Structure formats: structure tokens, C-alpha cells
Amino acid sequence: MAINKIPFMITTSRNIHFGTAELICDKAKKTLMSYIQQVVRAYHARGFRVCKILVDGGFECIRNNLVDLWHNTKCRIQEQTCPRSREIYKDHHRKCQGHSKCTTIQNPPRLIAEMVYNAVIWLNIFPHKYGIHTTISPRTLIMGLAIDYHKHCKLAFRTYVQVHEEGDSTLKPRTSGSIALQPMGYEQGGHYFLSLHSGKRLKAIAR
């Protein structure tokens, strides 16, 4: 999937409806295969077995690699046109962009990536209407992590905050302006932030 010509690798599973997304630097075979293997390992770690992979024409270059990778299994590789999940992620991105007070300003690539990650995590957090369980979310099924409202829902995406940074004994400011991204999703809570000073992704506990 590409948004503003920025390439992402996305996957979603039928029945479980667990989605993943990752900003990729290129579309080389090594890059695509590495990410697919990472996703497959996540399912295997929770006792699920990947038996079929549906891809669009953009993955024709690694068809043989996928077949070789799972030649001892019954995993099948099939081609499928534009998956619906791709459009769902783009719809969430458009809504997020539309809620911004600065819709006329072009978002930097880093923030566009974070919009996609934000869409993925919230789609995974809620049980899917057509999922395999009526009350357990895709995220809990695959990652074993649940969301606590009081820990993970303190900040909306793109909220301006001050994030504490370690300093010295001088009187220099100990906080820096940042933008809230999405919850880390771990049991102890915490959010990801985008520093307006350095442009780096930060981790901190929202208080």
C-alpha cells in the first residue's frame, strides 16, 4: 500500500482479522520476505498456522521464495486483487487527516506512518464483527495483550504534550514539545510520542 507515495507493507488475516502495517524502505525481495516471515512467526507463536497467503500482483517477484520457504507445509500462495483491508486503512488515514485543524498543511512522512500505525492498533483492539470470538479482540488473540481504558486511552492522536527528557544539573528545560501518537499497548501503559524538537519517536507514561 502507498500513501502519498510512501510504501507500507500491510497484512490482515481472514477470520481473526488481525492487521499489521510497517513502513518499508524499498520493495526488494529481501525486504518483503523479511516482513512476511516476521508476521508468520507472530501467528505461530500463538499456536496459529498459516496455511494460505493471498497476495496482489506486487508480490509476484517473491512467489518462488514463498513456495520454497513453506515447501514442507500445505501453505498455498494465491494471487488476489486489491484487498479490502488496504482501503480500510486508507479510510482511517483520511478521517484522521480530516480531524486535523491544519488540513491544508502537508504532513511529514513520519506522521503519515504514525497515522497508519494508529489505525492498525485501534482496528485490532476491538473484537471484529465477523471474527472468531465475540469478546476477545484480534490483538489479544495474536499478541496476548489487552487494552485498559485508564492506561491506554488518556491521549488522543496528535494531542500536544510536554514530554520529560533526562537533563543535567543546569536550569535548562527538562521537557520538550511532542505530539501524542498511539498507546504502546503494554500492561504498564505508556504512549508513543513524536518529538517536535528532534523528530524522534519517544516512549513515555502519560500522567
Classify 73 as helix, strand or coil. Answer: coil
Q: How far apart are CA 33 and CA 69, in angstroms?
A: 10
- Tell me the C-alpha to C-alpha distance, in Å, between residue 92 and each of 46, 119, 195: 28, 6, 23
Note the pLDDT of residue 104: 44
How many residues are recorded in the chain?
Answer: 207
Q: What is the mean pLDDT of residues 48-68?
A: 81
When the pLDDT of each residue in the chain is averaged and rounded to a whole number, the result is: 81
How far is 42 from 51, CA to CA, in rounded Å?
14
Give the pLDDT score at 147.
85
Most confident of 68-82, 119-133, 154-168: 119-133
Asked if residue 164 lies in contact with residue 175, where contact means CB atoms within 8 angstroms, the answer is yes
For 46, 121, 202, the CA distances from 42, given in Å and listed in that order, are 7, 15, 24
Distances in Å between the alpha carbon of 16 and those of 37, 59, 129, 158? 18, 23, 10, 29
Q: Read off the pLDDT of each residue in 80-99 and give the average, rounded to a whole number.
A: 60
pLDDT class for 139, splitting at 50, 70, 90? very high
For the cut 60, the answer to whether the pLDDT of residue 202 exceeds it is yes
DSSP 113: H
How many CB atoms lie under 10 A from the CB of residue 5?
Answer: 6
pLDDT (average), residues 38-58? 87
15 has a pLDDT exceeding 50: yes
Position 73 pLDDT exceeds 60 = no
Determine the residue type at 19: G
Measuring CA to CA, which residue among 72, 110, 113, 75 is closest to residue 93? 113
- H or E element at residue 9: strand 6-12
Q: Does the pLDDT value for residue 167 go beyond 50? A: yes
Q: Is 174 left (phi over 0), alpha (psi -120 to 50) or beta?
A: alpha
Mean pLDDT along residues 10-34: 91
In the CATH scheme, what is the homologous superfamily, with its name and number, of domain 2-143? Ribonuclease H-like superfamily/Ribonuclease H (3.30.420.10)
Q: What percent of the chain is predicted at pLDDT more than 90?
A: 27
Residue 141 in this model has a pLDDT that exceeds 90: yes
What pLDDT was estimated at residue 78? Answer: 63
pLDDT value, residue 81? 53
Domain coordinates in residue numbering, the chain: 2-143, 149-204
The pLDDT score that the predictor gives to residue 90 is 65
Question: What does the pLDDT look like over 108-127, one tens digit per residue?
Answer: 888 889 999 999 999 999 99
Q: Are 3 and 114 in contact (CB under 8 A)?
A: no
Q: What are the helix and strand counts (H, E) for the chain?
A: 6, 9
